[in-house]
Structure 1
Amino acid sequence: METGTMEERRRYFRLDDEVILDFEAISQEEVQRWKARHQDHINELAELERDIAGVLHQVQAQNPTVARLFELLNQKVNLLNSPVGPDAKPELSQTEVRTRVNLSACGMAFHSTEPLSESDNLRLQMQLKPSNIPVTLMGTIVGVEHTADPATPYLVRVDFEGLREAEQEILIHHLFQLQSRRLRSEREAQNDAAC
């Protein structure tokens, strides 16, 4: 499935988020090799996350405390399985710094210190928070703008390439959860202000 068309950008909403992000520029040949190696792993992870989310939703209705415990255990397992986990082989630089991104199910934008070029291929390695789900995606830079911030002088826009349904579902689920948490926090703040 090719992503990044104007129609798809309208179909998927974008949210500001913080993730652990690392990336590197790679050749088109490296993109193809990586896709071949990681397909099965991504599909299995997405299927497990879907199953866990369904069961957690059922348990939440009956016992919210137990559901929260299972959610925390799932986050812990994801963290241990993460490419930035303690015993993982480093694929990239192993940064633990959270990066502000503007994320959708078909692309993202982030600030960078590195001068990148439009149409470069990137391997993006993210750890979604608070679930700790590791996601590694390929993308093509569709825009680089200079910013006024000397600490991060480039705004990089990336369209995800070759996204499979399983990967897209992970992103959509993450964005849905993020938006739900924000709306819940806003409601609680309004209720507190009304009291």
Structure 2
Amino acid sequence: MEERRRYFRLDDEVVMDFQAISQEEFQHWKESQSLEKNELRELEQELGTLLHQMRSVHPSLAQILELYNRKINLLSGHKDDSSGVPMSGTESRVRVNLSACGMSFYTDSDLSGSSHLLFQLQLKPSNAMLNLAGTVVSAERTLQTNNPFLVRVNFDGIQESEQELLIQHLFQLQSKTLKHMRDH
């Protein structure tokens, strides 16, 4: 199966919980995306852009504001599930291969019979929360003994502000990685 790459992908670690959902639940989720949620994400994206610009002029002030933003995100993040679908309750730090349009990850759950997944993602270190749905592209058994299933998902019904937040997160991750490589 040829996988189309619309955005670059990076290996990352996120706090994630997910739940397999039916087509009907997926449609309900898409319809329930609220205006308030979109406004919060747009604010987060705009704030992130301005903080990135400020970092080159006033790095200390930008760092203080980023810390405050992370604290606010952390305090408000766990209350942001408006999907109406109960999650698995097994939220954990997970290594993912992430892009602005999808991701892949290893799990102990056989999701080969699932067509849609609902995710709660917390991006690190910003603590920005995303509630996203995805269409399962593939779910295959691997030779790994721990988390033997590799799942690939395309995000579906993703808002432009959510995609911008992911792009910004990936850009910051790549910048940090390149800086670390230069310094060592």
TM-score relative to the length of structure 2: 0.88
Compared with structure 1, are the counterparts of its residues 91 and 44 closer, same or farther at alpha carbon in structure 2 (3 Å cutoff)?
farther
User: What amino acid maps onto 2:14 in structure 1?
Assistant: V
- Alignment of structure 1 residues 151-190 onto 2, 5 Å: 151-189=146-184
Counterpart of 1:114 in structure 2 is 109
Task: Give distance in 2, aligned partners of 1:133 and 1:176.
Answer: 15
User: What amino acid maps onto 1:73 in structure 2?
Assistant: Y
Is the Cα contact below 8 Å between 1:46 and 1:169 reproduced in 2? Answer: no
Q: 1:119, CA displacement in angstroms?
A: 5.2
Counterpart of 2:120 in structure 1 is 125
- Alignment of structure 1 residues 137-148 onto 2, 5 Å: 137-148=132-143
Q: 1:154, CA displacement in angstroms?
A: 0.4
Q: Secondary structure at the match of 2:33?
A: helix
Counterpart of 1:77 in structure 2 is 72
Compared with structure 1, are the counterparts of its residues 57 and 14 closer, same or farther at alpha carbon in structure 2 (3 Å cutoff)?
closer
TM-score relative to the length of structure 1: 0.83
Is the Cα contact below 8 Å between 2:142 and 2:150 reproduced in 1? Answer: yes
Q: Secondary structure at the match of 1:25?
A: strand
Q: 1:76, CA displacement in angstroms?
A: 0.7
Q: Deviations over 1:105-146 (max 9, x none)?
A: 111100010111255211011101111010111111111111
- Alignment of structure 1 residues 82-93 onto 2, 5 Å: 82-83=77-78, 91-93=86-88
Q: Deviations over 1:63-85 (max 9, x none)?
A: 21111010011011111111279
Task: Structure 2 unaligned segments of length 5 or more: list them.
Answer: none
Q: 1:32, CA displacement in angstroms?
A: 1.7
Task: Give distance in 2, aligned partners of 1:96 and 1:25.
Answer: 14
Counterpart of 1:192 in structure 2 is none
Task: Give distance in 1, aligned partners of 2:146 and 2:52.
Answer: 42
Counterpart of 1:66 in structure 2 is 61
Task: Give distance in 2, aligned partners of 1:43 and 1:183.
Answer: 31
Q: Secondary structure at the match of 1:92?
A: coil
Task: Structure 1 unaligned segments of length 5 or more: list them.
Answer: 190-195
Is the Cα contact below 8 Å between 2:96 and 2:103 reproduced in 1? Answer: yes
Percent identity over paired residues: 52
Is the Cα contact below 8 Å between 2:45 and 2:161 reproduced in 1? Answer: no
Task: Give distance in 2, aligned partners of 1:14 and 1:74.
Answer: 25
Q: 1:54, CA displacement in angstroms?
A: 3.4
Task: Give distance in 1, aligned partners of 2:49 and 2:136.
Answer: 35
Is the Cα contact below 8 Å between 1:78 and 1:133 reproduced in 2? Answer: yes
Q: 1:34, CA displacement in angstroms?
A: 1.5
Counterpart of 1:136 in structure 2 is 131
Q: 1:52, CA displacement in angstroms?
A: 1.3
